[in-house]
Structure 1
Amino acid sequence: MKAIPDAISPQLLLQAVEQAFNSVLITDAQPAPHGPRILYANAAFCALSGYSTEELVGQTPRILQGPLTDRDVLDELRQCLRDGRFFHGSTVNYRKDGEPYWVEWNISPIRDAQGTVSHYVSVQRGFSELVAAQNTSQLLFEALAVSHDAVLITDENGVIEFANPAFEAMTGYAVAEVLGRTPAFLRSGEHDDAFYASLYESLRAGRPFHATFADRHRNGHIFHADQTISPVRGRDDNRTHFVSIIRDLTARVRHEQALRDAASLDVLTGLYNRRGGESLLERIYIGAREGGAPFGLILADIDHFKAINDTFGHPAGDRVLQRVGRLLRACVRATDGVVRWGGEEFMVILPHCELRAAMEQAERIRARIERTPQPEVGPITLSLGVAQLNAGETVASLIDRTDRALYEAKRQGRNRVCSAD
């Protein structure tokens, strides 16, 4: 047995054990069936278990066991004690008040001068808080895994460290594809520089950023998402990560767009109605003014339409309007706008189109309508007025000039194209 240095007295050793942070329990080596009896417990052990020293001495450590105590761990412990071997393990023990707690054991045999095991010393460490933290982490992981909202976690430099299955489903990218990248690969080009400048400014200032993002799916289509990006701070209050909670809004955005389209479309022809046409006209007007591009406008009116209704009935007149609408749509570019401006009057909006080209387009429309047979009512014709936006002109002035050109076409005998100039 190793001798105790003279500088360390038994009293000092006792004080060291008594004041130790870890729990210390000493038992004798009494064999089964009763097993070892507790001879000593330090203050840390009493605090951990809730028992006083007087309540522990003379008892077996079995008073600490309960329903959740792992029987396999106990069997291994008993086998080590029988073999006189060191034991290390962990399981659940119970406090005096019945509360379970996790404990890690190190139990060593103490031998006498003849080498016989006479006592056991157990050094224990409670780690219920650690287990609780691990359980909480596991619970959080499982919650994120089943969340319908996508969750993305990046480091302070924006490098992705975590993405949940909902992120995969929403974006089409597998987690393995995005780890180590920044979210920039999702950019669709729908947002301008000011949008991202606002985002970065908020995050640098430590503020959450919330907005509706238009991102690009792995397959190429754009999806819309409500996203909140929040900074995460460590114990020293320094920013360590960013967490993004992302909710797919694509279905809602499409529904809202459908409602807007429904409010902007003519029920009979499927073309823009007057409200939708005015909105489109304003957007193209602003683009033409800002970009300096030419902008043409056509107003067309079905000749003698009242006579068609009076002679063949309004249902027949409605079918004429529908066929004219389809023909107009077929005659123009995909970028042009076709509007049922009112009654039997139609508007064609021609961005990036000078007056000469607009006149040629109007003539093609007139000729196409004239030569297209109309069941029920026979041939029909259009009168058309054409104008180009002048420098400094308002939309109202442009429409007025185009309408006067249409009136002139009717005055000259109908089935013709007249220019506002």
Structure 2
Amino acid sequence: MPHSPGLAPFDSELHIQRDRRRAIIVYVGGMLLLLAVIGAFALEQYRRDTQAAEERNSARADLVAEWVSSIFSASEVVLASVSAHLEGEAGAEDDTPAALAHWLGVLDADLGLLDRISVLGAQGRVLASSRGDYPPGRPLGGLPYYHRLLTLAPGEQAVTPLFWSPADRGYRVVHARGLADGGVVSVELKPEVFYHGLASMSMAVGQSTAIVDTEQQLVARFPAFEEGGSQGMLGKTVHGALIETFLESGTQRGSYRLRSALDDEERFFDARRIGDLPFVTVVGEEVSVALAGWVQRLWLYLSIVAMAAGLGGLLLRHYLNRLRLEGGLRQHEAQLRIAAAAFETHLGMLITDAEGVILRANDTFTRITGYSEEEVLGRTPSLLSSGLHDEAFYAQMWDSITRRDSWQGEIWNRRRDGEVFPEWLTIGAVRNAQNELTHYVATLSDLTERKAAEREIHQLAFFDPLTGLPNRRLLMDRLQGLLRDSKRGDRFGALIYLDLDNFKRVNDTEGHRRGDQRLRQVAERLSSVTRETDTLARLGGDEFALLLHDLGECPEEAAKSAEEVALKLLSALQAPQMLDGEPLVVTGSLGVTLFHEHAVNLDGILQQADTALFQAKAAGRDTLSFFDPDIQERLQVRARLESDLRQALPRGELQLYYQPQVTAAGEMCGVEALLRWQHPGRGVVSPGEFIPLAEESRVILAIGGWALESACRQLAVWAADTERQHLVMAVNVSPVQFREGDFVEQVLAILDATRAPAKRLKLEVTESLFMEERDDARAKMLRLSERGVTFSLDDFGTGYSSLSYLKRLPLAQLKIDQSFVRDLLEDQASAAIVTSVISLARSLELDVIAEGVETEAQRDWLINHGCTRFQGYLFSRPQPIEWLPVSAAG
């Protein structure tokens, strides 16, 4: 060859470009990974800060709701006291209007929270009032809501929304109770009571709390608005998406993020109904305040990314410069090797001159193409052209060779016998020392066998070998593709799950061969009624799936289209058919779910379709069912309970802790057995969190039985202990557990099995137990009382149980709820409720115990007001049995 041009390797530059691309890809990939990690971390912190704000709002909403409820609990006690006084024989005979008014005035002055206590006759005229501005005979029936209050049945209570009282020239809220003579006793409250209560609660910057009635009127808000203050906004109708949406939803509570209708400030809100009262508490926290820390951290993360990008760019630049230097050496070494190895390679090889005339060809080229070297010398490679590629393809190829001195790719050529085959072709330009083009070197490899293997692998990987339908993997790929496409538009798609009815029984009785024949026939029938653009797949066994797309933009239209296709599938299955000369009857159940641009992830869609199929089978088979999200959520809750609560007992995760109960003299007189759950993943789970779930799923039956039996076994141990044999064991009983038909038999069986002294067992029940089936509950209590078991009414004062009914129950004790004990020194309403409960217990000749006593001041106040039993952290926290002190002092 003239000028000794050699065979310069066409791929030396490609190696350099490849390494350049790798370095750039590593750099870009590293930056993307860093961005992804920091983004994920920032997103998680955003979620945590948002969740923290929502939890703060929820806690404050609970606190406000509890406080407002306590106000009306206090007024309820007053109403009950006045009603009892008026309906008693002494009150009916001795009270003159003046005496009654004087008594009401004393009662009003003692409480302080109430504005006026009044007694009205059946015609709506004042009989007596705690304030002199309502003289006897004054008609009040014309005031807002009073006409409804006069219709209250004896003992029935009602609370009004906020209304304007012309007589008082101010807003009022009325709590009333019907009397036996058709009249009512009412208690009036000023909105300022609620405002001052909110103002006394601790609030951070950016937080706000409001109380709105069910008429959307603002009752109180803190902090008040500067313009007009709280009085300026009082009674105004609050318009806005939050309160309107919440009231219309009918739910007990909800969390929102939106702009306030009062000051247009974006906040996290938590809205909660206050029991059965016509009020809603709305607690908010400004988004800018709640997320301020997150925004600062986000700027820090972005700074870190910028620094990493700059440093990485400098390192990348240094590496690319080094590659250019090494590339020259590698190219020179490769030029020396290629001359020796070119014609000994397993690849076909051609060498042409600068004009493309063939100069050399090796034996592998002959084996691949069928042309000998003599047949191609002096000709151009175009003799191999298959005619399958257009001019644009070859133009792009030569453009790459001209610009880069190389090209490689897949191409279809023609053998000497006319067979068209695929090959991998690499072309490199060879230049001399003066950079002049002298030759082209081409290598080629036959891809025929590889293509055949790829087709076979593809068939095995993506198609069912029995029916030839796409398999689960191909269905998932296409579903994932449809989800990506749907995010760029708003057209619906659908996934239909189909399961043959009773196929397993048929397969077991008739054999697998006939089962396979039946599946192939079913596949043919289903394929005959599906569009070519849709995907019909066999998932395995007798399960099939059909993926539909482009069902329209309207959900109703999409559902109708999906239903029509599903009905066609059912009809195709039900049509008469023969198998081996015998009639074949096939039916199926179909589950349908729709998806579009706002669809859940792929797993969620699959689960929805599976749930819909479950619904269809449950409906009687040979039918179809669309996905119902309510059933899905119930299934998820049930699954979580199955995996956690149902395994808690077998795994020994539940424990009983004991909290002492003491007398006024400080002597320990009993203990309360309290459940604790040590979850292996979450740590200690609050009883307030898992007990309601256990009751909802009825797992409480097993847990409650275990707790009662464990407590009784401990009682039996103490019976032989002279220091503790006097202790009474208090055990909480769930209403779900108590309402079981054989509850009494269960308790008696446990007492017999453990030999625990029944007179030392005290069952704590709540007021909710007596909201329904009162006579049944009373009968069970009487049966257990005959055995010696005593009863304590837990959380007394937080519900709405009938005082007259309580007198009929075999109770031994009333338990004052800790929410009232906690605030009795600072809150007049709490103090009034506690005083009323103690007085009620004394009048019913019941023992009374206060729970949640944490300070000596609380204990001393309770002793001075007649309470004789105590329980709380002041004496001891709940402890495992081995840590339980012998005495309260211990």
Structure with greater helix percent: 2
Matched residue, 2:540: 342
**Alignment CA distance shift 1:400-1:203 (3 Å):** farther
**Letter aligned with residue 535 of structure 2:** G
Matched residue, 2:403: 204
1:403 aligns with 2:610: yes
Partner Cα separation in structure 2 for residue 287 and residue 313 of structure 1: 43
Partner Cα separation in structure 2 for residue 383 and residue 252 of structure 1: 42
Partner Cα separation in structure 1 for residue 353 and residue 562 of structure 2: 54
TM-superposed CA distance for 1:371, in Å, is: 0.7
Mapping of 1:36-47 within 5 angstroms?
A: none
Residues 52-107 of structure 1, C-alpha deviation per residue, up to 9 Å, x if partnerless? xxxxxxxxxxxxxxxxxxxxxxxxxxxxxxxxxxxxxxxxxxxxxxxxxxxxxxxx
TM-superposed CA distance for 1:258, in Å, is: 0.6
Partner Cα separation in structure 2 for residue 292 and residue 200 of structure 1: 42
**Letter aligned with residue 403 of structure 2:** R
Mapping of 1:78-97 within 5 angstroms?
A: none
TM-superposed CA distance for 1:233, in Å, is: 1.3
Matched residue, 1:381: 587
**Alignment CA distance shift 1:150-1:307 (3 Å):** same
TM-superposed CA distance for 1:262, in Å, is: 1.6
- TM-score, normalised to structure 2, is 0.26
**Alignment CA distance shift 1:311-1:286 (3 Å):** same
Partner Cα separation in structure 2 for residue 388 and residue 257 of structure 1: 33
**Alignment CA distance shift 1:343-1:282 (3 Å):** same
Aligned length: 265
Matched residue, 2:563: 359
Mapping of 1:177-256 within 5 angstroms?
A: 187=389, 204-206=403-405, 208-211=406-409, 213-215=410-412, 223-256=421-454
Identity over aligned residues, as a percent? 27
**Letter aligned with residue 253 of structure 1:** K
> Residues 188 and 216 of structure 1 are in contact (CA less than 8 Å); yes or no, is this contact kept in structure 2?
no
1:390 aligns with 2:593: no
> Residues 501 and 589 of structure 2 are in contact (CA less than 8 Å); yes or no, is this contact kept in structure 1?
yes
TM-superposed CA distance for 1:399, in Å, is: 1.7
Matched residue, 1:260: 458
SS of 2:428's equivalent in the other structure is strand
SS of 2:615's equivalent in the other structure is helix
1:317 aligns with 2:523: no
**Alignment CA distance shift 1:188-1:407 (3 Å):** farther
SS of 2:584's equivalent in the other structure is coil
**Letter aligned with residue 420 of structure 1:** F
Matched residue, 1:412: 619
Unaligned 5+ residue runs, structure 1? 1-139
Partner Cα separation in structure 2 for residue 331 and residue 416 of structure 1: 17
> Residues 348 and 445 of structure 2 are in contact (CA less than 8 Å); yes or no, is this contact kept in structure 1?
yes
Matched residue, 1:112: none
Partner Cα separation in structure 2 for residue 293 and residue 359 of structure 1: 16
- TM-score, normalised to structure 1, is 0.50
TM-superposed CA distance for 1:235, in Å, is: 5.0
SS of 2:513's equivalent in the other structure is helix
TM-superposed CA distance for 1:266, in Å, is: 2.4
Matched residue, 1:135: none
**Letter aligned with residue 365 of structure 1:** L
Partner Cα separation in structure 2 for residue 352 and residue 169 of structure 1: 50
Residues 317-375 of structure 1, C-alpha deviation per residue, up to 9 Å, x if partnerless? 22222211222223223333222113211011234445343332222111011013243
TM-superposed CA distance for 1:293, in Å, is: 5.8
TM-superposed CA distance for 1:398, in Å, is: 1.9
**Alignment CA distance shift 1:292-1:215 (3 Å):** farther
SS of 1:380's equivalent in the other structure is coil
TM-superposed CA distance for 1:381, in Å, is: 0.8
Residues 182-219 of structure 1, C-alpha deviation per residue, up to 9 Å, x if partnerless? x8975479x9x9xx69x96686244x4444x154879x
1:306 aligns with 2:512: no
> Residues 288 and 351 of structure 1 are in contact (CA less than 8 Å); yes or no, is this contact kept in structure 2?
no
**Letter aligned with residue 402 of structure 1:** A
Partner Cα separation in structure 2 for residue 264 and residue 275 of structure 1: 6
**Letter aligned with residue 389 of structure 1:** F
**Alignment CA distance shift 1:273-1:233 (3 Å):** same
Structure with greater strand percent: 1
SS of 1:272's equivalent in the other structure is coil
Partner Cα separation in structure 1 for residue 493 and residue 539 of structure 2: 18
**Alignment CA distance shift 1:154-1:265 (3 Å):** farther
Matched residue, 1:64: none
Partner Cα separation in structure 1 for residue 382 and residue 514 of structure 2: 65
**Alignment CA distance shift 1:324-1:214 (3 Å):** farther
Unaligned 5+ residue runs, structure 2? 1-338, 553-557, 629-890
**Letter aligned with residue 455 of structure 2:** Q
Partner Cα separation in structure 2 for residue 217 and residue 288 of structure 1: 43
**Alignment CA distance shift 1:222-1:390 (3 Å):** farther
**Letter aligned with residue 359 of structure 1:** E
Matched residue, 1:368: 572
Partner Cα separation in structure 1 for residue 382 and residue 408 of structure 2: 24
**Letter aligned with residue 385 of structure 1:** G
Residues 265-311 of structure 1, C-alpha deviation per residue, up to 9 Å, x if partnerless? 32322223323433343344445545766433221110122232244
**Letter aligned with residue 204 of structure 1:** R
TM-superposed CA distance for 1:180, in Å, is: 8.6
Q: Which moved more, 1:160-169 or 1:363-372?
A: 160-169
SS of 1:387's equivalent in the other structure is strand
